[in-house]
């Protein structure tokens, strides 16, 4: 017997607002559910499960990055809601969903608890399945990061990179400092806070690999008659012991003497030479250590030096969540 349940436009719109599904999908679900709103949601959820099962092996490498901070600025989260295509990743409804998920995520400290959290009568995990059916692409939480500190700031770059940074105390203009450092994290992709965090074995292997790569490049540059690259002995401040620095200073003095520079002016020249030596031999730190990187808004300062201009405050940690 043909189903004669009359479905009103208001009922369709209510289901559409609740689920984000298209008008025809909502009407079909309501008809199948005999007009029962909750059953219609279940119909759409089952559709999502079928679509999700078919697309389980797909890559959700596009999406939207979100950062959220709580009201007292002491906790922040960064997450990535992943999808399959950039087209969906830029969709207004998709971005709204990502923002709503971010608001919920602020109440949790790990991805597992977050996925089990309530989202309008279903879990977050179930909501992702439901929206997979609505959108037609695999959805997933590809990143979930948390920072707690005396003050937490954030920065999001075109919905593709979300950065959160924790600080030890609240000082004047902390909002500006926090945004600037979060922007540094988003832009320069540091992996650790300081060179002091490096494992010596990692630094040793990385030094060997980098020297080998430069020497290989120099063979080709030499063949072409071009200027050879400098081959550093070191790549991190963690390697520049007092003995190493003392030796570098003695070498610099010998160089000045060979150049015929009067000893009375050496004190004016040596600091610059030592600064250059340290710069040439700390390339790993500048790439991977937030505090040791050149500050993007003033490359004459490191991030640590910039933070110090704000007084008694330190960066306690940072997290970065990226699409792709």
Is residue 288 domain-shared with residue 233, that is, in the same domain?
yes
pLDDT value of residue 53: 66
Distance CA(244)–CA(74), nearest Å, equals 42
Per the confidence metrics, is the pTM higher than 0.75?
yes
Tell how many helices (H) and how many strands (E) occur in the chain. Answer: 13, 10
Is residue 176 domain-shared with residue 240, that is, in the same domain?
no
pLDDT value of residue 2: 43
Q: Return phi, psi of residue 208, to 5°.
A: -60, -45
Domain count, the chain: 3
Is residue 209 domain-shared with residue 239, that is, in the same domain?
yes
- Strand-by-strand arrangement of the 140-148 sheet: 62-69, 75-83, 140-148
Q: At 91, which CATH number? A: 3.30.479.20
pLDDT value of residue 113: 97
- DSSP state, 190? -
Is residue 46 domain-shared with residue 116, that is, in the same domain?
no
Is residue 81 domain-shared with residue 114, that is, in the same domain?
yes
In a domain, 321, yes or no: no
Is residue 72 domain-shared with residue 178, that is, in the same domain?
yes
**Which of the residues in the chain have pLDDT under 50?**
1-2
- Choose the final residue of a domain: 188, 205, 239: 188
Domain that residue 101 falls in: 62-188
Q: At 32, which CATH number? A: 1.10.8.10
- Choose the final residue of a domain: 188, 217, 251: 188
pLDDT value of residue 297: 95
In a domain, 319, yes or no: no
């Amino acid at each position: 017997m043909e189903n004669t349940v009359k479905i009103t436009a208001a009922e369709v719109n209510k289901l559409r607002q609740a689920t984000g599904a298209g008008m025809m999908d909502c009407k079909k679900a309501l008809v199948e559910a005999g007009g029962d709103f909750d059953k219609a949601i279940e119909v759409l959820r089952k559709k999502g499960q079928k679509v999700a099962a078919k697309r389980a092996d797909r890559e959700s490498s596009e999406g939207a990055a979100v950062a959220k901070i709580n009201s007292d600025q002491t906790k922040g989260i960064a997450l990535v809601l992943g999808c399959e295509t950039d087209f969906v990743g830029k969709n207004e409804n998709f971005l709204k969903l990502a923002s709503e998920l971010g608001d919920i995520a602020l109440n949790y400290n790990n991805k597992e608890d977050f996925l089990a959290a309530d989202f309008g009568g279903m879990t977050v995990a179930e909501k992702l399945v439901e929206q997979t059916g609505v959108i037609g692409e695999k959805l997933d939480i590809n990143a979930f990061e948390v920072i707690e500190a005396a003050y937490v700031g954030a920065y999001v770059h075109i919905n593709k990179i979300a950065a959160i940074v924790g600080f030890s105390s609240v000082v004047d203009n902390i909002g500006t400092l926090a945004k600037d450092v979060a922007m540094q994290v988003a832009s320069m992709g540091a992996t650790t806070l300081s060179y002091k965090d490096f494992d010596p074995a990692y630094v040793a292997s990385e030094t060997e690999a980098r020297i080998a790569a430069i020497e290989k490049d120099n063979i080709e540059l030499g063949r072409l008659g071009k200027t050879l690259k400098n081959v550093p002995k070191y790549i991190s401040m963690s390697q520049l012991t007092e003995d190493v620095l003392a030796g570098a200073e003695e070498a610099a003095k010998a160089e000045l003497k060979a150049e015929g520079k009067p000893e009375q002016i050496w004190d004016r020249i040596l600091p610059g030479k030592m600064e250059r030596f340290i710069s040439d031999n700390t390339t790993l730190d500048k790439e991977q250590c937030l505090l040791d990187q050149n500050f993007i808004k003033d490359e004459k300062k490191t991030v640590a030096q910039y933070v110090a201009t704000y007084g008694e405050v330190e960066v306690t940690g940072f997290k970065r969540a990226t699409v792709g």
